[in-house]
Structure 1
Amino acid sequence: MNGMDSGLAARVTKHLKTLLKLAVLAAPLALAACGGKDDLDELALNDTPPEVLFNEGLALRAQGNLRDSTEKFEELDKLYPYSEYSKKSLVNLAFLNYSRGKYTEAITAAQRFVTLYPGDEDAAYMLYIAGQSYFRQMPDITRDQGPTERAASAFQDLIQRYPDSEYTADAEQKLRVVRDQLGGKEMQIGRYYLKRRNYVASINRFKNVVLNYQTTRHVEEALFRLTESYYALGVVSEAQTAAAVLGHNYPDTQWYKDAFTLLNEGGFQPSEDEGSWISRAFRGINVL
């Protein structure tokens, strides 16, 4: 998952358009001071006004010099913490680090902004950058899903706190992808336990998919695996319920055909026990 969404790039350009206008005003001063690294170091003195540092950072960014622009905003943040220019610098730092693939640094800047300025109009954008940064670090299904879980948390936070934000629709779309991957990880672990006949452990994993990832593509297989696991344990009523719920919701799938065949070979039929947690979960009843 490398690269940057074209949609995000467009939104960022629009979002920071006002800030970039300041760079035009400061361009003569900034360009004169940006001849090289030594010049940058000389200007980054404790008595350099924050507005000068900020406009120099914008000018560097406008030139495409993202590394030096990042350093300039970092310098400003260190010299004038909690100032209005420091707040604007955090927005730029989050975006610049994300653009450069430095996701840890982007997340740090974004989270700091949200912590310090939760009511600011840019807070939603910062949560979006944090979510995107985690999203870009999502590993394959065989590895630990820590970044995936954190992406889900950031996107959920954005959706809940800023439902009217221009970033919410994309966050909802990304969250569906994230949740599908988390459900897939649960399925992988559940299958691992099932293969080793650790049925209680496998049931717990498939149950988590049914309860927490019911809208993902994995729920059909999860119901079949629950049928398998419960049947192997001799808990026939729950196996019958899992198969019946699978048949009610996904009657034309191979998973239901396999569940039906499994029970039929033992002389049983799918039959729903409405008191079962499986049945209640699909009726929208909290079973926890």
Structure 2
Amino acid sequence: MFHKLFYLLLLVMLNFGCSKEDPPINKPAKHEKSFEIYKEAVDSLESGDYFYASKKFAEAETILPQIEFAAKASLMSSYCLYIINFYDEAIENLERFIKVYPADKNIAYANYLLAISLYEQILDEKKDIVPLLKSKEKIELFLNEYPNSEYALDLKFKLDLINNQLAAKELYIAKYYIQSQKWIPAINRLKVIVEKYSETIFIEEALHRLVEVYFIVGLLEEAKTTAVILGYNYNTSKWYENSYKILNKEYKIKKIEKTKKDDGLIKRTIKKLLK
């Protein structure tokens, strides 16, 4: 809910940030109704009646005289749907916004909200991979289009989480194949992690499992090569130790004792700060 309040703050800033764009006090009579509907939508938004606010923003969009106000009403309607978890409706509205108002100043935010709406539908990567892939695709498109946007950092973080979930799914399936002694499918799944998700937390175990499977099927050179890669990049990992034990049955890896660091300066500095 904290995140959604944050997005609300952004929308309020978009909505009221530029006073020069506010509706003029002396509005033409034929446009009075449109601004009254828009104001009613804003009041409903502020009171927390998001569903009604969404309907009124959508209604206002169709009759507002200026395109920038119509675009703003459309975006606000989408946000209201998002805040009450009407994701499908919000996504449909946002996709329409992007097509109808491609030059709007808030187009980056619309794409961001679209990516977030897809991301928040991710549940369990073991059950349904479609939301993961859709969210990943949209986030990558956003980062390519708006790499320096204020929203880019948040989406980069979410993309890392998605990649970890996808890697977890591949590893889960690979382990199933290993237990079933289906070595070729297991190797293929593990290679996906190595090739596509090498920056995730699952890369170390994936490399070890490759060593393990290669050794079982008699591909000793491949097992040794993979173990070298694992050792070069993660030589303090338990997975490297396990891989080494597979290839060297009688070898025991020596534990490296950590040298005590000279923290005298740190302690002296702290003492000075405490005086």
TM-score of the superposed pair, with normalisation by structure 1:
0.75
Task: Report whether the alignment pairs 1:72 with 2:56.
Answer: yes
2:135 to 125, 137, 151: 151
Cα distance between partner residues in 2 of 1:141 and 1:75: 38
The answer for the alignment partner of 1:8 in structure 2 is 7
Alignment of 1:231-242 (within 5 A): 231-242=215-226
The answer for the alignment partner of 1:191 in structure 2 is 175
Task: Report whether the alignment pairs 1:248 with 2:232.
Answer: yes
Cα distance between partner residues in 1 of 2:52 and 2:188: 51
Secondary structure of 1:138's match? coil
Cα distance between partner residues in 1 of 2:39 and 2:22: 7
What is the root-mean-square deviation of aligned Cα atoms in Å? 3.0
Identity across the alignment (%) = 28
Alignment of 1:1-288 (within 5 A): 4-18=3-17, 22=22, 49-77=33-61, 84-265=68-249
Secondary structure of 2:126's match? coil
How far the C-alpha of 1:19 sits from its partner, in A, is 7.8
The answer for the alignment partner of 1:283 in structure 2 is none
Cα distance between partner residues in 2 of 1:24 and 1:56: 17
Secondary structure of 1:109's match? helix
Secondary structure of 1:153's match? helix
Secondary structure of 2:3's match? coil
Cα distance between partner residues in 1 of 2:147 and 2:34: 34
How far the C-alpha of 1:7 sits from its partner, in A, is 3.9
How far the C-alpha of 1:118 sits from its partner, in A, is 3.2
Change (3 A) 1:10 1:56: closer
How far the C-alpha of 1:5 sits from its partner, in A, is 4.7
How far the C-alpha of 1:207 sits from its partner, in A, is 0.8
Residue type of the alignment partner of 1:104:
D
Cα distance between partner residues in 1 of 2:136 and 2:53: 30
How far the C-alpha of 1:78 sits from its partner, in A, is 6.0
Residue type of the alignment partner of 1:91:
L
Tell me the matched-pair count: 246
Residue type of the alignment partner of 1:14:
M
8 Å Cα contact 1:127-1:158 kept in structure 2: yes
Cα distance between partner residues in 1 of 2:103 and 2:178: 48
8 Å Cα contact 1:57-1:69 kept in structure 2: yes
Change (3 A) 1:5 1:254: farther
How far the C-alpha of 1:12 sits from its partner, in A, is 3.1
Deviations 1:126-172 (A, max 9, x none): 12111211221111232112111111112111111012211111111
Query: Unaligned regions of 5+ residues in structure 2, if any?
Result: 252-275
Cα distance between partner residues in 1 of 2:247 and 2:6: 49
Change (3 A) 1:89 1:105: same
Secondary structure of 1:4's match? helix
User: Which of these two proteins has the greater Rg computed from alpha carbons?
Assistant: 2
Query: Unaligned regions of 5+ residues in structure 1, if any?
Result: 27-46, 268-288
Secondary structure of 1:205's match? helix
TM-score of the superposed pair, with normalisation by structure 2:
0.79
8 Å Cα contact 1:4-1:99 kept in structure 2: no
Cα distance between partner residues in 2 of 1:156 and 1:264: 43
Change (3 A) 1:130 1:247: same
How far the C-alpha of 1:83 sits from its partner, in A, is 5.2
How far the C-alpha of 1:255 sits from its partner, in A, is 0.4
